[in-house]
A and B are shown apart, each in its own frame.
Chain A
Amino acid sequence: MKKYMPFITLGFFLIFPMLGVSTYVMHIFILLLMWTTIGMSWNLLSGYCGQVSFGHAAFFGIGAYTSGILYSKLSMSPWLGLPLSVFTVGILSFIIGLAVLRLRGPFFALATLASGEVFRVTAENMEWLTSGTLGIMLQQRLWVSKLPYYYIILSITVAVFLLMKYLLSTKLGYYFVAIREDQDAAESLGINTTLYKTIALIVSAVVTGIAGAFYMNYMGYIDPHIVFALHDISIITIMIVMVGGVATQWGPFIGAVIMVLLQEVVRSIPGLGAMHQAIFGGLLIFIIIFLPNGIVGDFKKIKRFFGLRSA
């Protein structure tokens, strides 16, 4: 049964739009897949390689803005911007990496957090390029229907899933985990930790950047507060993986399902206002205390709790 889960899940997602669902539900599914992608990318750098990033909004935003700026300044199709964003995010994440990868543990986390904020402030102020807080708007989205967007993000998600699965089964995967477990030991075993941390960072950043560029195309509007948001992007990314299961293959997906649905449910309750952040905070505390390995990582614990021990 477990062996067929990936195919069942994929099959479900492939035929899902043919079930005649409303555009709202389609929208939720598109977001869910996008967040799964971002979660997987974060999971590579922070879950497997152990370099906890609080600044993935930087990469998301750079991806979105690359695509947006190419459209607004060069009238290039934002879809062309998507592959091109790979380069800008790659280069910029390399530069960020030069600065932040010298640091370890909490210092690395704080530095990434700062780098996310630096890009937000930069985007706000470089008005000649980014139109500042006005943001960039697509005059016309390519498709009115959500269907093409859905299949594009689905293929991106599946491709990233396979890429991660592949990477982690190779030498790189072992090296990433070795670095997470003990950087000094890894170094003395002949692992060039700086090099491999940089690889993890760039791959992770590029994938998040692609998600950002997709977001630009899909939503049709970006501004610095949306795509460089600390709480709405960086922190949510971390929460998704924490809830789903850090350093697990399915964690980001499960986490995205829960977080996106929860976000929508909370949003539909009237008069809650900013309370939803408190709810997320409470959830995070609960997860950290009772399920430190997330839902996937502590699945056995959950089963035991509900008395479903399948000996």
Chain B
Amino acid sequence: MLEVKNVSKYFGGLAAVSDVSFSVKNNEILGIIGPNGAGKTTLFNVINGFYKPSKGEIFLNGVSIGGKKPYQICQAGMARTFQIVKPLRRLSVFDNVVASAFLRAKSKQEAKQIAEEVLKFTELYEDRDTLSKGLPLGKRKRLEIARALATRPKLLLLDESFAGLNPAELDKSIEIIKKIKENGITIMIIEHHMKVIMSISDRIVVLTYGQKIAEGTPEEIRNNPEVVEAYLGGEG
């Protein structure tokens, strides 16, 4: 689905991401973990097109997307959410999703239909008339997911969609993510919440100081001494 080959991103002399390679298989959930400042979000921004990779190549379904614009990459079938949520504040929840549904919809009616479906799927349908700036954080994070889903992606990039959620919201979001996977969408997810990432990921990539230090199943990662040392500390 997605192949990241030797990608580096420098800001001035600083390597935020250096020589990272990995691939995402069809219909899996790939978790990306790492301490603060490890370059996870930068990596997302490179994959999603906000930054051009300084080095390396990225392929989506075999097509090179490195250096393409975010909107082109989204049209190619990759959608993302933001760690710091970016709702279209003065629009209702419904219109937020309609705006992104237009990417695939041929008519306004179809866009509304997609939006309705997606909102029911993410359990935001009751809030459809609320202005998105008035939503609590948990729902705003879900709105990000809803908006991304409305573009009918094949690959979904989730940037800390669980951060700051209360336990009830957490369970709901986990359930939604599992449902998204069942619908055949591949997911790549950045997450700090260890319990969540260990339970939903099929495989995990670990970043530290911009470098990939490990890759494997949650079980392997948990028992990898390097990861334990770099990241999990004494807990492992």
Contact = CB atoms under 8 A, between A and B. Distances in A.
A192 B86 CA distance: 17
A185 B146 CA distance: 13
Interface in B45-91: 48, 50, 69-72, 74-75, 79-80, 82, 86-91
Given A169-B108, A170-B108, A189 B100 contact: yes
A171 B79 contact: no
Nearest to B147: A189
A186 B50 CA distance: 12
B191 interface: no
B33 to A, nearest CB: 22
Interface residues of B, number: 28
Interface string A180-217: 01101111111111000000000000000000000000
Contacts of B148: 189
Contact of B88 (A170, A182, A188, A193): A182
A176 to B, nearest CB: 10
A193 B71 contact: yes
A175 interface: yes
B103 interface: yes
A189 B151 contact: yes
B204 to A, nearest CB: 24
Given A170-B108, A175-B102, A177-B99, A187 B71 contact: yes
B108 A182 contact: no
A185 B108 contact: no
Contact of A190 (B50, B88, B100): B100
Given A185-B147, A187-B50, 9 more contacts: A175-B99, A177-B90, A184-B82, A189-B148, A190-B75, A190-B100, A191-B71, A192-B69, A192-B71
Interface of A: 169-171, 174-175, 177-178, 181-182, 184-193
Listed from nearest, the 4 A-B pairs whose CB atoms lie closest are A190-B74, A181-B88, A185-B86, A190-B103
